[in-house]
A and B are shown apart, each in its own frame.
Chain A
Amino acid sequence: MKKKKHEKLFHMVKRDDISTSVRVAIKLGAIVIALVLCAVITTVATGYNPVEVFFSFIDGAFGSSRKIWITMQDTAILLLISIALTPAFRMRFWNIGGEGQILMGGLGAAFVMMNFGESLPSGVVMLLMIVSSIFLGALWGFIPAICKAKWNTNETLSTLMLNYIATQLVAFFIVYKVPSGSAVIGIINQKTRAGWMPELFGSKYMLTILIAVILTISLYFYVNNSKQGYELRVVGESEKTAQYVGIKVGWVIVRTMIISGALCGLVGLLLVGSKDHTITTTITRGLGFTAIMVSWMAKFNPFIMIPASLLIVFMNKGANNMASAVGLNESFGEILLGIILFFIIGSEFFVNYKIAIKKDRKKNNSEKSENKGLTDVSKNKYEKY
């Protein structure tokens, strides 16, 4: 008796399939609700007009042509790291060592710039920079991969710990190069510009953006349409299945992580050779971790990572601008970003489940059982993410 009385008004029903338009509507709805909530919190907590704050966000990211360029460049860098991590994630190899792989790439580039920048012709210097940064990034991906393949070590721990080793190596390099100074290398080859990556079409930001575009497209097809991409996806779904169909699991892990690490190394090259022209232990600005979120938010789809990266960069730039324009602390922008991300990620629930009201319950249940046999298991597995 009691049980019946307490029967819930709503309950969750797993969605079996969902049309793109509904999915987009749910996501947009989540963003709108998040923005409204942000506005409420802004007003209640600070007394500022939320519209004013919102416009200072837009001004921060897109307020002038220079700002647009910088926003595009920063989006490109975050996007590059996100797509670099993606092949490993699709393989269910939790590479949280992006930071370290980028730092090693940057270290390779900085080493070449500082030691050979003035003595070798610039073409050779750049070639050496590219090779050394990609090699070191790949090496930092290879180490945890080979340990995983040979001894089944936990890659979450090993990639994380390699981050610290990379940070310390960079710190050592800096102290080695600047023994009695302030542990700041400063702009490398500022006068000669040796080893500085070229400006394309007269813009120093273009190279990074162009590389991001090319690699995003390439990686999409690599993961989704190539044999190697297929192999890594199968390994991700079930190692046993992969073994059964004759895929060399260990080799796929190593190969994929070398690619992942090499791409991160390339980002290190771009940071040192094209953006900052220096090396510091914090040159990644934590983007190796942010990119994990971008990759997941986009469900490992490189094209969806474009708006995801842009959103995060937009919020960061906006928060920074707000800090100076409206006089709020930058941390407030981070609170707002947290709210928006919470809603976007939380909306996944409504993509996977729908809320049924009591009277519809029976109908839904029968629908569900009918569809059950029809669902594509492998597809469903990815839908969860």
Chain B
Amino acid sequence: MKKLTALLMAAVMVFALCACSDSAAVESTETAEATTGAAETLNIKVGFICLHDENSTYDLNFINGAKEACEKLGITPIIKTNIPEGQECYDAACELADQGCEFIFADSFGHEDYMIEAAKEFPNIQFAHATGTKAHTENLANFHNAFASIYEGRYLAGIVAGMKLNEMIENGTITADQAKMGYVGAYTYAEVVSGYTSFYLGAKSVCPSVTMDVTFTGSWYDETAERESANKLISGGCVLISQHADSMGAPTACEAAGVPDVSYNGSTAAACPNTFLVSSRINWAPYFEYAIKATANKEAFATDYVGTIATDSVVLTDLGSAVANGTKEAIDDAKAKLQAGSLHVFDTATFTVGGETLTSYMADVDTDAEFTPDHEVITNGYFNESGDGFRSAPYFDIQIDGINLLDVNFG
């Protein structure tokens, strides 16, 4: 039992340590507060509700955006993490309201209904929600949806991919017919369909012979499934891979197989230096800044906000070392055209559906249980994705020619 005495001694020593370090802790928090001075200072409290915490790339992207915007405005956000898509979201929103927050934001699709409940209860507080679909039909003055035209970012990323394919064709690595890309998607709904179609159209704009295989994992984050899907696509003859799912599964599979990869939500250059081409992501900071400012000034702001390349809401990472020559010029050129409005991602002249050019399409813009098509979205020769007067969340769900779905089972 000498051990016990030894243990007791050890415990006493740790206590002594604890007593010493108390004062240090207090000091460090004080200095942290002192450094948060900023150019602009608004007198407003804001709250953010996240499905997971900073360990998820999806939530990290929101948390970073929130911190960036708040630092610029000289305020400290209250960020609640790991809030499930249930009553906890409503509770969290109400608690933030109780604490005096005037602008409250939630980041996950399943949070929407609970935010609407809270919005009804606190009519003087602004509630905003990313990726949601109901704000434009809910008729609540204090409930807002926000998204970004990430399809423009994916289109540009597609150009990078197309340029790479052209390089491979020129080098004789593949023939023009073998220019087949692979895409690892999460689910089969509009957000993903809109994403892979715009990526494909971007590639096709520079490499006309390109085709694409798409497979779905049925999960937003499943590293094993994403890696296996990428391997499946590669062994099926795909020479370039992209993804719309949140793990490192596909990029690492590509690095192992030496296949060029376009990733999502942030650069994977550090882990995949040889195969990383480019990545696109939504930058939420401009929206947060806009919405918080409007709330502080008691001004109305957009019910459905769509951030664009022009608002800096859609951004590309730095290009990887594996990209083809002339890529930078090609995307700068396309970016300028997109901003000027002379180029449309879903221009009906650039794709066919069942061999026909699309002249009319009724999309399910207004949310209802049966997904009834309700709005004509082909205007001026292009599919008006996330257009003015419609909702911000994507509704492009058409299967176009040249894209081959390997499986469609993940509703």
Contact = CB atoms under 8 A, between A and B. Distances in A.
Indicate, yes or no, whether A interacts with B: yes
Interface of A: 8-10, 36, 39-40, 43-44, 47-50, 52, 64, 66-67, 70, 175, 178-184, 186-187, 190, 275-278, 280, 282-283, 285, 320, 323-324, 329-330
Interface in B390-411: 397, 411
A324 B113 contact: no
Nearest to A187: B113
A47 B21 contact: yes
B117 interface: yes
A256 to B, nearest CB: 31
Interface of B: 1, 4, 14-15, 17-18, 21-22, 24-26, 28-29, 53, 78-82, 84-87, 91, 94-95, 98, 109-110, 112-114, 116-117, 187-189, 191, 371, 397, 411
Contacts of B86: 275-276, 278, 280, 283
Given A10-B1, A43-B21, A320-B82, 20 more contacts: A39-B18, A40-B14, A44-B14, A44-B21, A47-B21, A47-B24, A47-B25, A49-B22, A64-B95, A64-B98, A178-B411, A180-B397, A180-B411, A183-B187, A184-B109, A186-B110, A190-B117, A324-B78, A329-B53, A330-B82
Nearest to B80: A324
B87 to A, nearest CB: 5
Nearest to B96: A324
Residue from B25, B87, B112, B397 having most chain A Cβ neighbours under 10 A: B87
Contact of B116 (A36, A190, A324): A190
B117 A182 contact: no
7 contacts: A10-B1, A66-B95, A180-B411, A181-B371, A276-B86, A278-B85, A285-B84
A187 B117 contact: yes
A102 to B, nearest CB: 14
Contacts of B87: 275-277
Given A9-B1, A180-B188, A276-B86, A186 B18 contact: no
Nearest to A183: B411
Nearest to B82: A330
A184 B191 CA distance: 14
Contact of B1 (A8, A48, A49, A70): A8
Nearest to B191: A182
Contacts of A187: 113-114, 116-117
Nearest to B116: A190
Nearest to A184: B110
A173 to B, nearest CB: 12
Nearest to B190: A180
A275 B87 CA distance: 6
Nearest to A175: B411
A69 B113 CA distance: 21
A323 B53 contact: yes
Contacts of A52: 25
A36 B81 CA distance: 27
B85 A280 contact: yes
A184 B189 CA distance: 12
Contact of A49 (B14, B26, B79, B84): B26
B4 to A, nearest CB: 7
Contacts of A183: 187, 411
Contacts of B81: 323-324, 330
Contacts of B29: 48
Given A47-B24, A320-B80, A40 B113 contact: no
Which 7 pairs show the lowest CB-CB distances between chains A and B?
A187-B113, A276-B86, A184-B110, A186-B113, A9-B1, A175-B411, A10-B1
A40 B189 contact: no
Contacts of A324: 78-81
Nearest to B409: A175
B196 to A, nearest CB: 16
Contacts of B94: 66
A283 B110 CA distance: 13
Contacts of A278: 85-86, 113
A58 to B, nearest CB: 15
A179 B80 CA distance: 31
A66 B189 contact: no
Contacts of B78: 324
A181 B371 CA distance: 8
A180 B371 contact: yes
A44 B187 contact: no
B399 to A, nearest CB: 13
A52 B87 CA distance: 28
A283 B4 CA distance: 45
Contacts of B82: 320, 323, 330
B391 to A, nearest CB: 14
Contacts of B117: 187, 190
A373 B94 CA distance: 61
Contacts of A280: 85-86, 110
A24 B80 CA distance: 37
A199 B131 CA distance: 31
Nearest to B55: A329
Nearest to B17: A44
A182 B113 CA distance: 14
A330 B187 CA distance: 29
B254 to A, nearest CB: 27
Nearest to A276: B86
Contacts of B26: 49
Residue picked from A40, A180, A187, A324, most chain B C-beta under 10 Å: A324
Contacts of A43: 17-18, 21-22, 25
A183 B85 CA distance: 12
A278 B111 CA distance: 11
A56 B1 CA distance: 39
Contact of B4 (A10, A36, A181, A276): A10
A93 B91 CA distance: 37
Nearest to A188: B113
B60 to A, nearest CB: 13
Contacts of A66: 91, 94-95, 98
Given A47-B24, A47-B25, A184 B18 contact: no
Contacts of A70: 91
Contacts of A40: 14-15, 17-18
A383 to B, nearest CB: 25
B24 A44 contact: no
Contacts of B14: 40, 44
Contacts of B113: 186-187, 190, 278
B109 A48 contact: no
A275 B397 CA distance: 34
A10 B80 CA distance: 49
A181 B86 CA distance: 18
A339 to B, nearest CB: 13
